[in-house]
Chains A and B, each alone.
Chain A
Amino acid sequence: MKALILVGGYGTRLRPLTLSVAKPLVEFGNKPMLLHQLEALVEAGVKHIILAVSYRAEQMEQELKNVEEQLGVKISISLETEPLGTAGPLALAKDLLTQDHEPFFVLNSDIICDFPFKQMVQFHKHHGRQGTIVVTKVDEPSKYGVVVYDPENGRIQKFVEKPQEYVSNKINAGMYILSPSVLDRIELKPTSIEKEVFPFMANDNDLYAMELQGFWMDVGQPKDFLTGMCMYLSSLREKSPDLLHNEEGIVGNVLVDPTAKIGRNCRIGPNVTIGPDVVIEDGACIKRCTILRGARVRSHSWLESCIIGWRCVVGRWVRMENVSVLGEDVTVKDELYINGGRILPHKSISDSVPEPQIIM
């Protein structure tokens, strides 16, 4: 089977991180976001994965050369010269996708969950129609595209994009299996699959919903990135608890790369991910954060709900909170307070940011 991952464009919602690194390569849980999906696809028997990309294709090709070898899978890049939306890329990759006449996976690249690829294949074969959409239950469905379907058999009746009144709490989880015949419905132009393809398939009773079990998160923006990290670490605790760190000063679910160093009298966790070559000095308190490769957090600082970018240096007695994000190579001087600050790469901060702000 094949898979198409909609990688798309600039990843602007995850700036300032995506100013330095293409979004699929940003490390989530100490592994590039894309790799979580690739590994799960390979495990489900996928042999060829097509990345639909409209930006920074070369950076990704570079990084992914090793992955091809490691996972034993073929990775192709389908380059959009103009952004083609969520359906157009399928038309662009038509030749690749129809090679083996089999149904194929389509995934949004921002999705992290307990990937149900094997169940999807079974479910899709069982109903035998053109498409399967994975749906998931969320607390605030009005932010997403809501799916209305028959709970008996999963046949989708309609979609409501960002409903103004409560319709249902099941939303499109961004993972599909489509039969090659679906490609006849898609033209090679900027097209939205949710608005211009699925509704017609639903009318033809050709679209079915499979409910996802377990956690789900669209980690395309910092707030959700951190929430997703918490969910991911919880699921690690259940499935592979020995991957998590367990020492003095560690509280709750904490993932620490073996090359990272943590000082004395720290309090790390709950819900912290610490990347390779990171140094945490004595007396630091870190909660609900992702610390990316090579960063240094100096002594006595207190961080909550932050993403600290690659090679950053956070000074001593610094307080950071409220989804602050430091881009690559940012320096925060001693004794500052950063509240909801988004700091662009290579910046040196010497004044506090007491209210949420973007610092260029």
Chain B
Amino acid sequence: MIKTIILIGGPMKGTRFRPLSLELPKPLFPVAGYPIIHHHIEACSKVPHMKEVILIGFYQPNDALNKFISNVQQEFKIQVRYLQEYTALGTAGGLYHFRDQILAGKPDSFFVMNSDVCGDFPLKEMLSFTVQKGGGSHCTVLGTEATRQQSLNYGCIVENKNTHEVLHYVEKPETYISTTINCGVYLFSPDIFCTLEKIFKKNQEDNYNCDPNMQMKETIRLEQDIFVPMAGSGKLYVYHTDRFWSQIKTSGAAIYANRHYLALYQNWHKERLARNGELKPQIIGDVYIHPTADVHPTAVLGPNVSVGKHAVIGEGARVRESIVLEGAVLQDHCCVLYSVIGWNVTIGMWTRVEGTPNDPNPNKPFAKVDVKDTFSPDGKLNPSITVIGSNVQVPSEVILLNAMVLPDKSLAGSCKNQIIL
């Protein structure tokens, strides 16, 4: 029997995803029409003997999360529940804290997945690889290739090329270690808790000898506290994937993920992709339109567009490489490019909303989405995806270019390269 734990973090995490994460927990943000962790859970549901998905995080219980849980339970027929950490416990602290629930039913293995990554997760293959290695105790990390320079932003893995044993692990090194990076997806056997217990107890002891201002006694970090010492001990392995994988830290990454998940629908969910037809809008490339959305037949959508529930898209509108969230209204003749249009936003007639993509460098193999700072060294806003926060009214005939508009704002005119609070 197998379980999956998804670490969903809390409101203090995922701040680079603001303003979108101000109103909805980031893991529930819809990419290609479905919440980020919906895609995770769908991948889990394809693994045989997957019995339960446990969400661990420190969000307060909220409607959106509850609704999501009951929806996915119904859809995938797996038990799903949310366990709330009483405070942020680090990437492994929550696992240790809820060890009894995780071990209930005596699972043979369990996956742990970060919620701020997205991809075509090869969970079945990772399981087969691990089972082949044999032995009761196992600990496998999903890895992928990055460029030399970008690898410094991730956890770096040095492996034995033959056995795939992890020889060395460094989280966000300062100098180049390896191009193989940690994808934030792991497979553990239950005896990982012995290791976690040792570390937990050691931290507790240490804290009687140390400075009262030190960090929380109960936090355990998977990367630094578990993998680093485990590397080279013969117990940690890496499974490589070259399928689509990306972190989602910023809204720019959400647009990138949107594109790739929509492309995956060609294989697994053709029925989710919009098709051309009489009295229907013109569709270019991969486009998802929620069945309740109202799109005028003269609108042109795509490629790589997701349109949410009850959204309205008017006559002659053009939307490309963008996410339109629930309840948004795009009036006649408007043009939306590389943007996220928030919940219940209105875009006026002939208005142009345009962002700049942060796509990986197409000239470099294995390049990942750039995570640039919000501001350049000389204090200018770095051009990025335009994000319009919820309930914003954007007037007609204006241009919003590389702008970020916080929720409930009433705009008076055009805005370029700015953050509007």
- Which residues of A approach B to under 8 Å, CB–CB? 265, 282-283, 285, 299-300, 302, 304, 316-317, 319, 321, 335, 337, 352, 354
22 contacts between A and B (CB under 8 A): A265-B315, A282-B316, A283-B332, A285-B350, A299-B316, A300-B316, A300-B317, A300-B318, A300-B335, A300-B350, A302-B350, A304-B397, A317-B333, A317-B335, A319-B335, A319-B350, A319-B352, A319-B399, A335-B320, A337-B401, A352-B354, A354-B416
Number of B interface residues at 8 Å Cβ cutoff, please give it: 17
Give Cα distance in the complex from A192 to B337, angstroms.
54
The smallest beta-carbon distance between A22 and chain B, in angstroms, is 35
Taken residue by residue from 77 to 101, chain B's Cβ proximity to chain A (1 for < 8 Å, 0 otherwise) reads as: 0000000000000000000000000
B127 shortest CB reach to chain A, Å: 45
Instruction: From B316, B332, B354, B401, name the one whose CB has the most chain A CB atoms within 10 angstroms.
Output: B316
Known: A300-B318, A302-B352, A319-B350. 13 other contacts (CB 8 A): A282-B316, A283-B315, A283-B332, A285-B349, A300-B316, A300-B350, A317-B352, A319-B399, A321-B399, A335-B318, A335-B337, A337-B354, A337-B401
Measured between beta carbons, the chain A residues less than 8 angstroms from B352 are: 302, 317, 319, 337
Separation of A319 and B337 alpha carbons in the complex (Å): 13
How near does chain A come to B357, taking the closest CB pair, in angstroms? 13
Q: Total contacts A to B, CB within 8 angstroms?
A: 45
Partner of B316, one of A283, A304, A354: A283
List, in ascending order, chain A residues with CB within 8 A of B416's CB.
354
CB distance from A92 to the nearest CB of B (A): 50
* Residues B40-64 near A (CB distance < 8 A): none
Contacts of A304 in B (CB 8 A): 397
Chain A nearest CB, measured from B414 CB (Å): 9
A354 in contact with B401 (CB, 8 Å): yes
Whether B397 contacts A285 by the Cβ 8 Å rule is yes
Complex Cα distance A257/B18, Å? Answer: 52
- For chain B residues 199-240, which have a beta carbon within 8 Å of chain A? none
A187 to chain B, nearest CB (A): 54
Contact between chains at A283 and B335 (CB < 8 Å): no
Contact of A337 with B399 at beta-carbon distance under 8 Å, contacts A319-B335, A354-B416 already known: yes
Identify which of residues 316-336 in chain B touch chain A, using a CB-to-CB cut-off of 8 Å: 316-318, 320, 332-333, 335
Assess A316 versus B318: contact at CB under 8 Å? Given A300-B335, A354-B416. yes
Taking a contact as CB atoms under 8 Å apart, the answer to whether A317 and B332 are in contact is: no
Q: 1/0 per position for B294-323, CB-CB distance to A under 8 A?
A: 000000000000000000000111101000
- Least distance between A12 CB and chain B CB atoms (Å): 30
> If the complex has contacts A282-B316, A283-B316, A285-B397, are A302 and B333 also in contact, measured as CB distance less than 8 A?
yes
Interface string of B339-350 (1 = CB under 8 A from A): 000000000011
Q: In the bound complex, do residue A317 and residue B318 qualify as a contact, i.e. CB atoms below 8 Å apart? A: yes
Contacts of A337 in B (CB 8 A): 352, 354, 399, 401
**A319 and B316 alpha carbons, distance in the complex (Å):** 14
Q: Which residues does chain B contribute within 8 Å of A317, judged by CB atoms?
A: 318, 333, 335, 352
